[in-house]
Amino acid sequence: MLTRWLVVLLALLPAVALADVHEFKLANGLKVVVQEDHRSPVVVSQVWYKAGSIDEFNGTTGVAHVLEHMMFKGTKKVPAGQFSRIIAAAGGKENAFTGSDYTVYFQQLEKSNLPLAFRLEADRMANLQLTSGEFSKEIRVVMEERRWRTEDKPQAQVYEQFQSAAYQVHPYGRPVIGWMNDLEHMTVADARAWYHRWYAPNNATLVVVGDVDPQQVLKLAQQYFGPIKPQALPLRKPQAEPEQKGERRVTVKAPAKLPYLLMGYHVPALQDAEHDWEPYALEILAGVLDGNASARLNQNLVRRDQIAIEVSAGYDLTQRGGLSMFLVDGSPSDGRSVDDLEYALQDEIGRVKEDGVTDEELLRVKAQVIAADVYQRDSMFYQAMQIGKLESTGLSWKFLKDYPARLQAVTPAQVQAVARKYLNDDNLTVAVLDPQPMDESKPKHQEVPHAHR
């Protein structure tokens, strides 16, 4: 039964992934990828800039995220705060987010309003007004966001310190939101320099998914984005992280109710979709450990032995920097210590390295991974996210065509091989939350919604 289910999913996935995808490129270098989805009269429009925290310089960490906020602060045609109001008045939704590898702006609208999204995005791509007054207000919002999202969140503090320890040279070690000292000393000139350095059509991908005619989308893109001039982009130099040659440990003391453990191993990201096999094996390995309720970590450590109240494993194979981390984390059960949990996690990893995985287990994980992808693609927004992320991390949306076959080709020996090669102590960084007494009388920072006014 499981084999037949997997065969059905493998047959379905390419049809879902590549249903009517069209790729264009404007004369100014803007790439346009359109995926037709005619199930409802809705369109998702996303502009992906290949500019994230990986491109920042020391002293201006967080500037990519700050500029994301400033992109809502107006042009000559659209005053500050009006962008979001115009989209809302048209019955749409919009927002933006910044990552290590990219910054993304998106709208979801009734299909007849696609020209509106294009007009607004093209205007701020070329004509953003960066004023000292708006910057001074927004930088305070960003600092409050950092306090709420990181400094008031013990596990977020652990992750931030973990990244800094794991990546000692590569910019992935810097927080996307930036270090507070850099935010405190940032100027509007820093944001302006970032905007002029990276915000150009030849450094962007426009992704449109929905009930659209690709040729009409191309015509609209040429109308609104076509007149924007390309610009010379800075040379991106290779940034390699030196080989780790010994275990690294970090302890974070912060007010919290429960201890927390985060373990990570340096592993490669996908760079050659046709010839690389290790990233696919690592993705399957993550599924073996934490694919669902019956996966090894949950089954053995949470249910059977009750060492952990929660535990997970994860790996992201799409990273522009060419590097990734294989992460395992969790919180120990009452009466158990972080050391108990770490020992148990190491034991589960050791079992994979020593005994490998069974064919039946591998088949189940493959079916689950592919099924999750099929179900997620029922969302237009998710489809656009997949395309944009692949295009912005050096791959191509065409990767989706071969993705299920690449996963299906992974063997038990390959899963065991990547576990043995990468999940070793000399390649390990461990971060631990040592919970301190909580002061309930201390005021918490107010949640900062990711809205732009």
Query: DSSP strand E in 200-282: where?
Result: 204-210, 248-255, 260-268
Query: How do 260-268 and 323-332 pair as beta strands?
Result: antiparallel
Catalytic residue (one of 56, 68, 145, 160): 68
| Ordered alpha helix ranges (H), 409-446 | 412-422
149 secondary structure, DSSP code: I
Listing DSSP states for 369-414 in one string gives HHHHHHHHTTSHHHHHHHHHHHHHTT--TTHHHHHHHHHHT--HHH
Segment (H or E) for 111? none
Question: Are 446 and 265 a contacting pair, CB within 8 Å?
Answer: no
Query: Which of 420, 167, 394, 118 shows the shortest CA–CA distance to 271?
Result: 394
Distance separating the N- and C-terminal Cα atoms of the chain: 53
Q: Which two tokens stand for residue 414?
A: 């390959």
Rg (CA), the chain: 23
Decide if 283 is catalytic: no
Listing DSSP states for 299-352 in one string gives IIIIIIS--EEEEEEEE----TTSEEEEEEEEEEPTT--HHHHHHHHHHHHHHH
Catalytically annotated residues: 68
